[in-house]
Amino acid sequence: MTPVPIEIDGLTKRFGDVVAVDDVSFDIGAGEIFGFLGPNGAGKSTTIRCLLDLIRPTSGACRVLGLDSRKDAVEIRRSLGFLPSDLAMYPNLTGRQTLEFLAHLRGGVDWAWVDELSARLDADLTRRVAEYSSGNRQKVGIIQAFMNRPKVAVLDEPITGLDPLVQLEFHAMLREHVSDGNTVFLSSHTLSEVERVTDRVAFIRRGRLIAVESMEHLRAKAVRRLRLEFAVPVPAEEFLGIAGVHEATADGATVTLQYEGSMAPLLKAATNREVLSVESGSIDLDEMFLEFYRDEAADEVADERGVEAARHGGV
């Protein structure tokens, strides 16, 4: 049986009185881009540091490709690519020299592949690191994470400093990478990135796992907006009984609706009348994200649900 690429098993990490990570468990499968989402200080970097054996857990275990993070750290490194949130680089080396240095530590890499990565990210490897913009620094960080074609890539806030076009290219690269059966574990506090690129996402807050959900499931659950313009005024109440409709308001001949799930019953009802235009709002995951983090009272309920789901490998 192929080993599970990443397993976090009852991980707890305390720094004195601070419980940075509190009994967190989840698995990430082969071919997945998995997002790890949470606000500042939630425990994302601490989890990643334990996974990479940069710090020792207080209790629990992490495994990469079936190998124990603590006991088999050296072997794990061969199959792993890592982009830390604060990659240390020698200021006097150029980008290329930095990559050569890191390639040497890894026992050599395929330079044609490194050149391809660098061209795709439009990275300037000729200048000294000291002269780099934060974006170019990040590009070198990404290239070094992928230079050994890792089976498992762990990326801490990868799009920081990248402009939107480079972000698009980078996300395309991630998709290609997992299409070969590799795995990407990506931590972020930006919902839009996680929404764009990940297959599943774990939500963490104050060290505790709130939920692990597939993006498909989140999208299906997300509330969407629909604006219908009719030839004549239509009462909003006509739409309130339809499956999935939460809210309906009318302004003259325009009806605005909030709904979840399939749009079909709603459209069927609407087309009984003369519809002049239909405008569908983007999926409102932002609201969902805020709800995960806003409501202190929901904490305990969500914990029970989320941790249970995580233990069973998500939804």
Ligand X SMILES: Nc1ncnc2c1ncn2[C@@H]1O[C@H](COP(=O)(O)OP(=O)(O)OP(=O)(O)O)[C@@H](O)[C@H]1O
- Binding positions for ligand X, rule: CB under 6 A: 15, 18, 20, 38, 40-46, 85, 189
DSSP-assigned letters across all residues of 136-147: HHHHHHHHHHHT
Q: How far is the CB of 140 from ligand X (least distance, A)?
A: 20
Phi, then psi, of 280 in degrees rounded to 5: -105, 125
Q: What share of the chain is helix, strand, coil (3-state, %, to 5)?
A: 35, 30, 35
Residue closer to ligand X, measured from CB, 38 or 81: 38
Residue closer to ligand X, measured from CB, 56 or 78: 56
Q: How far is the CB of 20 from ligand X (least distance, A)?
A: 3
Tokens 């334990």 locate to: 50
Residue closer to ligand X, measured from CB, 38 or 150: 38
Residue closer to ligand X, measured from CB, 40 or 126: 40
Tokens 């698009």 locate to: 168
Residue closer to ligand X, measured from CB, 16 or 164: 16
Residue closer to ligand X, measured from CB, 54 or 269: 54
Residue closer to ligand X, measured from CB, 15 or 90: 15
DSSP letter assigned to residue 257: E
Q: How far is the CB of 189 from ligand X (least distance, A)?
A: 5
Three-state secondary structure along 173-226?
HHHHHHHCCCEEEEEECCHHHHHHHCCEEEEEECCEEEEEEEHHHHHHHCCEEE
Q: Provide the b/e sequence for 17-54 (b: ≥16 CB within 10 Å).
A: eebbbbbbbbbbbbebbbbbbbeeebbbbbbbbbbbbe
Q: How far is the CB of 217 from ligand X (least distance, A)?
A: 23
Paired residues of 214 in beta bridges: 200
Q: How far is the CB of 231 from ligand X (least distance, A)?
A: 51
DSSP-assigned letters across all residues of 106-157: TT---HHHHHHHHHHTT---SSBGGG--HHHHHHHHHHHHHTT--SEEEEES
Tokens found for residue 148: 């050994």
Measured from the Cβ of residue 238, the count of other Cβ atoms closer than 10 Å reads 15
Q: How far is the CB of 10 from ligand X (least distance, A)?
A: 17
Residue closer to ligand X, measured from CB, 20 or 255: 20
Helix (H, G, I), strand (E, B) or coil at 31: coil
Q: How far is the CB of 292 from ligand X (least distance, A)?
A: 14
Q: How far is the CB of 1 from ligand X (least distance, A)?
A: 32
